[in-house]
A and B are shown apart, each in its own frame.
Chain A
Amino acid sequence: MSDRIGDGILYGLCTLAALLGVAVLLLIGYQVVDGASPAISKFGLGFVFHTTWQPNFNVYGAGTVLFGTIVSSFVALAIGAPIAVAIGLFLSLLAPKGVRGAISPLVEMLAAIPSVILGFWGIIVFAPFVRSDIEPWLHDALGFIPLFGPSQTTGASVFTASLILVIMIIPIVASISRDLFLAVPGDVQDGAGALGATRWEVVRGVVLPSTASGIVAASLLGLGRALGEAIAVTQVIGSGSAIHASLFETGDTMAARIANQFPGYLNELHAASLYYLGLILLAIGLLSNLLAQWIGHRFEYAGATR
Chain B
Amino acid sequence: MKAIEAGLEEVGFDPTAPLTASGNLRRRRVVNRLAEWGATGSALLAVGVLAIVVYTVAARGLPAISLEFLTTGEPTGILPAIVGTLVIVALATAVAMPVGVLIALYLTEFASGGRIDRTVRLTLDLINGVPSIVIGITVFGLLVYGRPQFAFAGSVALAIIELPLIARGSQEVLLLVPAGLREAAEALGVSRWRTVLGVILPSALPGILTSTVLAVARAAGETAPLILLSSVFDGRSVSLNPGEALPNIPVTIFNLSEEANPEGFARAWGSSLVLLATILFASLCARALLARSRAGIER
Q: A residues near B, CB below 8 A?
A: 3-4, 6-7, 9-11, 13-18, 20-22, 24-25, 27-28, 31-32, 34-35, 83-84, 86-87, 89-91, 94-95, 103, 105-107, 109-110, 112-121, 123-125, 167, 170-171, 174, 198-201, 203, 221, 224, 227-231, 235, 255, 258-259, 262-263, 274-275, 278, 281-282, 285-286, 288-290, 293
Contact = CB atoms under 8 A, between A and B. Distances in A.
B191 A3 contact: yes
A258 to B, nearest CB: 5
Contacts of A281: 131, 133-134
Q: Range of interface residues on chain B? A: 35 or more
B123 to A, nearest CB: 5
B135 A28 contact: yes
Given A11-B192, A17-B98, 19 more contacts: A15-B110, A18-B102, A18-B107, A32-B137, A91-B43, A105-B287, A114-B250, A117-B57, A117-B272, A119-B254, A121-B56, A125-B56, A199-B32, A200-B35, A235-B257, A275-B137, A281-B131, A285-B131, A288-B129
B193 interface: yes
Contact of B132 (A124, A199, A228): A228
Nearest to B99: A17
Nearest to B229: A263
A261 B280 CA distance: 31
A292 to B, nearest CB: 8
Contacts of B47: 103, 106-107
Given A112-B279, A113-B276, A7 B131 contact: no
Nearest to A116: B223
B196 interface: yes
A13 B107 CA distance: 12
Interface stretch (B10-18, B73-81, B138-146, B177-185): B138-146
Given A115-B221, A200-B31, A289 B131 contact: no
Contacts of B35: 199-200, 203
Contacts of A9: 193
Contacts of A120: 253-254, 257, 268-269, 272
Interface in B23-61: 28-29, 31-32, 35-36, 38-43, 45-47, 49-50, 53, 56-57
B172 interface: no
A89 B110 contact: no
A18 B120 contact: yes
Contacts of B164: 21
Nearest to A166: B49
Of B46, B123, B138, which is in contact with the most chain A CB atoms at under 10 Å from its CB? B46
B246 interface: no
B265 interface: yes
Contacts, number: 254
Main secondary structure of the interface of A (DSSP, over half): helix
Contacts of B250: 114, 116
B106 A14 contact: yes
Contacts of B38: 86
B268 A278 contact: no
B102 A14 contact: yes
A87 B48 CA distance: 13
Interface of B: 28-29, 31-32, 35-36, 38-43, 45-47, 49-50, 53, 56-57, 98-100, 102-103, 105-107, 109-110, 116-117, 119-120, 122-127, 129-138, 140-142, 160, 163-164, 167, 191-194, 196, 217-218, 220-224, 227-228, 231, 250, 253-254, 257-258, 265, 268-269, 272, 275-276, 279-280, 283-284, 287
Given A17-B99, A21-B167, A28-B138, A109 B130 contact: no
29 contacts: A9-B193, A10-B192, A10-B196, A14-B102, A14-B105, A25-B123, A25-B130, A28-B138, A83-B46, A86-B38, A86-B41, A87-B46, A90-B40, A94-B36, A94-B40, A107-B50, A112-B280, A115-B223, A117-B253, A120-B254, A121-B272, A167-B49, A199-B36, A200-B36, A230-B224, A235-B254, A259-B133, A282-B134, A285-B134
Nearest to A8: B193
A274 B224 CA distance: 14
| Shortest beta-carbon contacts, A-B, top 9 | A228-B131, A114-B221, A17-B102, A3-B191, A14-B106, A289-B129, A86-B42, A198-B32, A6-B193
B254 A116 contact: yes
A164 to B, nearest CB: 10
A90 B123 contact: no
Contact of A83 (B42, B102, B129): B42
